[in-house]
């Protein structure tokens, strides 16, 4: 054998001996859609007039949840009714959250699985050694009906992570530096596989990294499985899974060496996630600081933010928004008293939603406003007006900046 | 499948992302008629109004990057665009276009805005102002989907 992990998984799921470049029709373990993408998928599904593969389908309304206006309410209801009428999985207000966080928390993501999601950041489950990839809505609808989909087996870029990251350097900083190297579109159609000293990277940070492989244009991501993976899965209702690993002599498209000990806290400046600088070079004034999203809205992120905010006050010019990535994260933050800390510092802590991450609602930027955000995209107009500007950084930097009123680091406060 | 398409070139640059194609605030609907007028409105407020049925988008690298929103393809379909040519496409956008039956072609074309372009699918070539550009034929698998006019029809045909 000399195959990459992704070649092995596509071979198994399609019952073929496939290699990078081959087109296969593969059985998908799970298919996920949210309130934006499910309605179009449901139309496609209805067009086919077949029975739903209910046990494979997960509906997670998140983008405009709770509904922000009448049209969103219609889309939300359509998604929910489909789930209820067809007996699919449904994670709704009260037990859901941002779709990718829910997929990992609820045990759908696990090693060796093939998961398709009608959302571009489906790449995230590679953190748990699954092959997961973003698809469109029409094809999600086809999977609802048939349980399978066509794929081109991707080539793999192997990323060797060496050394131990310095203090203050998080998964976000590592992936920003990788994006700086690879560039937007630089991993187009490919799998980004991470190995090496991954023992220094916790699962939540692997999720941040896997999440932002989307910004390099990757089809999917893949972290090797280790004790940290197994430990995370043990705490979930995961079911059976199969550990898969690339062979040493597999045919990699390229190998990139990253010295994690050389990475400094970093920031992506407008208007592209690959436009990365050391955070110490940037001092821009901010109007909004945002901690949340499938990138960095997990309990570990909120803990970091709270520890910086404790006993301090958010600058009066800044609105600090903290939006947990799921209800589970919210509940945990509540139990640990983190919400108190954030609110006492003058932050706004809300229920879970995508909301402002995509400029949807609840924190939309006005003309010329500047936001430092723990999310994954800073394209023109991503979080609001076309003249607003978004900087992407880890949640500790976002929290410190909220206090400083400008972009800065925890060391500066 | 149509064998040739002719239309005016609508020229766009590199890295046109889905947030530009259709800003997120309009994602609360998937109606092509409601989406189409907002095509690229942040960058080029007058562009959508100047596009005619049958026009061909000619773009640079990484067209359609960003989100998985099929709304991007629906918006472009809603404008009556007949074909999208780009130096390269973002992955999900490419899939969405194939699966909804819009021809997408990877090629580098340097036509001017509103210049007439002809795409000859039979001979895999693009013709404009005296130039002829060859493009790579689709693999068999994708050809079948495009020839069925999209994935839904392809699945219905029983070949799946
Ligand atoms: S949190 Fe942001 S990036 Fe993640 S799924 Fe929601 S809108 Fe997309």
At CB < 8 Å, which residues of chain B contact A? 15, 17, 19-20, 23-25, 27-30, 42-43, 61-62, 65-71, 73-74, 88, 90-92, 95-96, 99-100, 139, 141-142, 145, 150-152, 155-156, 160
- Residues A3-48 have pLDDT tens digits of 999 999 999 999 999 999 999 999 999 999 999 999 999 999 999 9
Q: From the CB of A379, is ligand 1 less than 6 Å away?
A: no
Model confidence at A225, in pLDDT bands (50, 70, 90)?
Answer: very high
Nearest C-alpha neighbor of B81 from the set B25, B11, B148, B15: B11
- Looking at per-residue pLDDT, the higher value among B30 and A259 belongs to A259
Domain identity same for A224 and A316: no
Both tokens of A243, joined, read: 């550990």
Query: Is A66 an 8 Å CB contact of chain B?
Result: no
> Quick check: A118 and A134 in contact, CB under 8 A?
yes
**Ligand 1 centroid, distance to A290 Cα (angstroms):** 13
Model confidence at B2, in pLDDT bands (50, 70, 90)?
Answer: low
Query: Is A101 an 8 Å CB contact of chain B?
Result: no
**Ligand 1 centroid, distance to B9 Cα (angstroms):** 34
Model confidence at B1, in pLDDT bands (50, 70, 90)?
Answer: low
Please provide the distance, in angstroms rounded to a whole number, between the alpha carbons at the two ends of chain B: 19
Mutation target to probe the B interface, by most B beta carbons within 10 A, among A45, A65, A120 is A120
A167: left (phi over 0), alpha (psi -120 to 50) or beta: beta
A30-33, strands of its sheet edge to edge: A89-90, A57-59, A30-33, A114-118, A131-134
Range in A210-219, A291-300, A375-384, B145-154 with the lowest mean pLDDT: B145-154
- Residues A263-274 have pLDDT tens digits of 999 999 999 999
- Residues B39-77 have pLDDT tens digits of 999 999 999 999 999 999 999 999 999 888 899 999 999
E strands present in A226-354: 254-259, 266-268, 276-278, 288-292, 319-323, 348-349
For residues B90-103, average pLDDT: 92
Nearest C-alpha neighbor of B109 from the set B100, B99, B119, B101: B119
- pLDDT score of B141: 85
Domain identity same for A317 and A241: no
A319-323, strands of its sheet edge to edge: A276-278, A266-268, A389-392, A370-373, A288-292, A319-323, A348-349
Model confidence at B130, in pLDDT bands (50, 70, 90)?
Answer: confident
- Among A48, A118, A359, beta carbon nearest to B68: A118
Name the DSSP letter for residue B139.
P
Cβ neighbours of A185 in B, within 8 Å: 15, 61-62, 65, 88, 90
Domain identity same for A38 and A158: yes
Domain identity same for A245 and A272: no
How close does chain B come to A136, measured CA to CA in Å?
A: 5
Atom of ligand 1 nearest to the CA of A376: 3
Cβ neighbours of A47 in B, within 8 Å: 152
Mean pLDDT, all residues of chain B: 93
Domain identity same for A59 and A157: yes
E strands present in B41-159: 56-59, 83-86, 104-106, 116-120, 125-128, 131-134
Using the beta-carbon criterion (under 8 Å), do A120 and B67 form an inter-chain contact?
A: yes
**Ligand 1 centroid, distance to A202 Cα (angstroms):** 21
Q: How many domains does chain A have?
A: 2
Model confidence at B24, in pLDDT bands (50, 70, 90)?
Answer: confident
Please tell me the distance from the alpha carbon of residue B143 to that of residue A134, in angstroms, as a whole number: 22
Q: From the CB of A376, is ligand 1 less than 6 Å away?
A: yes
Instruction: For chain A, give the percent of residues with pLDDT over 70.
Output: 100
How close does chain B come to A82, measured CA to CA in Å?
A: 17
Q: Which residue, A237, A259, A281, sits at the end of a domain? A: A259
Domain ranges of chain B: 4-156
Please tell me the distance from the alpha carbon of residue A397 to that of residue A411, in angstroms, as a whole number: 10
- Quick one: which H or E segment has residue A404? helix A395-404
Residue keyed to tokens 């002829």: B132
Among chain B residues, the shortest Cα distance to A215 is held by B66
Phi, then psi, of A230 in degrees rounded to 5: -60, -40
Both tokens of A399, joined, read: 């929290």
The reported pTM is 0.94
CATH number for A11: 3.30.499.10
- Residues A122-172 have pLDDT tens digits of 999 999 999 999 999 999 999 999 999 999 999 999 999 999 999 999 999
- Residues A304-348 have pLDDT tens digits of 999 999 999 999 999 999 999 999 999 999 999 999 999 999 999
Please tell me the distance from the alpha carbon of residue A345 to that of residue A24, in angstroms, as a whole number: 53
Q: Which residue, A233, A259, A285, sits at the end of a domain? A: A259
Cβ neighbours of A217 in B, within 8 Å: 62, 65, 90-91
- Residues A182-224 have pLDDT tens digits of 998 899 999 999 999 999 999 999 999 999 999 999 999 999 9
How close does chain A come to B130, measured CA to CA in Å?
A: 32
Using the beta-carbon criterion (under 8 Å), do A136 and B90 form an inter-chain contact?
A: no
Taking CA atoms only, the protein residue closest to ligand 1 atom 2 is A357
Using the beta-carbon criterion (under 8 Å), do B68 and A142 form an inter-chain contact?
A: no
Under 8 Å CB pairs connecting chains A and B tally to 129
Q: From the CB of A318, is ligand 1 less than 6 Å away?
A: no
- pLDDT score of A75: 96
Domain identity same for A160 and A283: no
Among chain A residues, the shortest Cα distance to B45 is held by A386
Q: What is the extent of the structural domain holding A294?
A: 268-412
- Residues A278-292 have pLDDT tens digits of 999 999 999 999 999
- pLDDT score of B137: 85
**Ligand 1 centroid, distance to A356 Cα (angstroms):** 9
Using the beta-carbon criterion (under 8 Å), do A63 and B27 form an inter-chain contact?
A: yes
Using the beta-carbon criterion (under 8 Å), do A380 and B30 form an inter-chain contact?
A: no
Domain identity same for A187 and A290: no
Please provide the distance, in angstroms rounded to a whole number, between the alpha carbons at the two ends of chain A: 54
Residue keyed to tokens 């070139």: B9
Which CATH fold would you assign to the domain B4-156?
Answer: Aconitase; domain 4 (3.20.19)
Domain identity same for A218 and A357: no
- pLDDT score of A221: 98
Using the beta-carbon criterion (under 8 Å), do B95 and A139 form an inter-chain contact?
A: yes
Please tell me the distance from the alpha carbon of residue A293 to that of residue A350, in angstroms, as a whole number: 12
Domain identity same for A81 and A61: yes
Both tokens of A321, joined, read: 């928004």
Domain identity same for A99 and A227: yes
Q: Which residue, A202, A224, A259, sits at the end of a domain? A: A259
Domain identity same for A39 and A106: yes
Domain identity same for A130 and A104: yes
Mutation target to probe the A interface, by most A beta carbons within 10 A, among B13, B16, B28 is B28
Among chain B residues, the shortest Cα distance to A33 is held by B68
């Amino acid at each position: 054998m000399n195959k990459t992990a992704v070649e092995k998984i596509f071979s198994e799921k399609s019952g073929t001996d496939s290699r990078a470049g081959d087109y296969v029709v593969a059985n998908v373990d799970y298919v996920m859609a949210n309130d934006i993408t499910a309605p179009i998928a449901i139309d496609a599904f209805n067009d086919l007039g077949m029975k739903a593969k209910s046990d494979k389908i997960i509906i997670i309304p998140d983008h405009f949840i709770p509904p922000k206006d009448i049209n969103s309410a219609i889309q939300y209801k359509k998604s929910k009714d489909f789930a209820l009428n067809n007996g699919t999985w449904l994670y709704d207000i009260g037990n859901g959250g941002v779709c990718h966080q829910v997929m990992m928390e609820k045990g759908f993501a696990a090693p060796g699985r093939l998961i398709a999601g009608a959302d571009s950041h489906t790449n995230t489950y590679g953190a748990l050694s699954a092959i997961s990839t973003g698809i469109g809505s029409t094809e999600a609808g086809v999977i609802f009906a048939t349980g399978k989909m066509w794929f081109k087996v991707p080539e793999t870029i192997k990323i060797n992570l060496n050394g131990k990251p310095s203090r203050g350097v998080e998964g976000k900083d590592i992936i920003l530096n990788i994006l700086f190297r690879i560039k937007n579109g630089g991993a187009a159609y490919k799998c980004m596989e991470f190995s090496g000293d991954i023992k220094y990277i916790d699962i939540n940070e692997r999720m941040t990294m896997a999440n932002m492989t989307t910004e390099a244009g990757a089809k999917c991501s893949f972290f090797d499985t280790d004790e940290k993976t197994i430990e995370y899965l043990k705490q979930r209702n995961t079911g059976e899974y199969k550990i898969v690993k690339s062979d040493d002599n597999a045919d990699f498209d390229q190998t990139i060496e990253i010295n994690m000990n050389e990475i400094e806290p970093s920031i992506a400046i407008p208007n592209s996630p690959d436009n990365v600088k050391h955070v110490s070079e940037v001092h821009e004034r901010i109007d909004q600081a945002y901690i949340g999203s499938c990138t960095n809205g997990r309990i570990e992120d909120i803990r970091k933010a709270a520890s910086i905010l404790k006993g301090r006050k958010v600058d009066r010019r800044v609105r600090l928004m903290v939006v947990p990535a799921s209800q589970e994260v919210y509940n945990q933050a509540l139990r640990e008293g983190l919400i108190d800390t954030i609110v006492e510092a003058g932050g706004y802590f809300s229920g879970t939603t995508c909301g402002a991450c995509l400029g949807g609602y609840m924190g939309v930027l006005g003309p010329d406003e500047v936001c430092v955000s723990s999310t994954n995209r800073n394209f023109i107009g991503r979080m609001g007006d076309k003249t607003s500007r978004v900087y992407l950084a880890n949640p500790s930097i976002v929290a410190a900046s909220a206090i400083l009123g400008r972009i800065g680091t925890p060391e500066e406060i | 499948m149509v064998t040739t398409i002719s239309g005016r070139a609508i020229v766009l640059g590199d890295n046109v992302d889905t947030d530009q194609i259709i800003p997120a605030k309009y994602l609360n609907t998937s109606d092509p008629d409601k989406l189409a007028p907002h095509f690229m409105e942040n960058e080029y407020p007058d562009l959508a109004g100047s596009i005619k049925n049958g026009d061909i988008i000619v773009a640079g690298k990484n067209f359609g990057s960003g989100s998985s929103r099929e709304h991007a393809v629906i918006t472009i379909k809603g404008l009556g665009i007949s074909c999208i040519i780009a130096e390269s496409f973002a992955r999900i956008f490419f899939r969405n276009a194939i699966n909804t039956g819009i021809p997408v072609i990877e090629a580098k074309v340097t036509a001017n805005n509103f210049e007439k372009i002809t795409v000859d699918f039979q001979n895999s070539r693009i013709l404009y102002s005296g130039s002829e550009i060859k493009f790579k034929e689709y693999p068999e698998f994708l050809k079948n989907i495009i020839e069925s006019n999209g994935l839904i029809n392809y699945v219905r045909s029983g070949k799946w």
